[in-house]
Amino acid sequence: MMVTEPGGYIQWDELDCATFHAHAPTESLTTQGSSDLLTRWQGFCKKSGLDFRFVARTDFRCSLDGLAAQTWRTYTHECGSYISSLADIFASNRLEVIESFRLPLSDNLRRASTDNFIMALEEIGAIASAKDVELLGTWDDYRALWKRALMETERGVSIGMDMVVIVGRKQSIS
174 domain-assigned: no
27 domain-assigned: yes
* Mean pLDDT, contiguous 10-residue spans, the chain (174 residues): 73 88 93 95 84 44 38 38 82 89 91 96 92 89 96 96 91 73
Q: Tell me what pLDDT residue 62 has.
A: 37
Q: Tell me what pLDDT residue 75 has.
A: 35
pTM exceeds 0.85, yes or no: no
Domain of 129 in residue numbering reads as: 9-169
3 domain-assigned: no
Number of domains into which the chain is organized: 1
1 domain-assigned: no
115 domain-assigned: yes
114 domain-assigned: yes
DSSP 1-32: ----STT-EEEEEEE-GGG-EEE-SSTTS--H
Q: Tell me what pLDDT residue 115 has.
A: 97
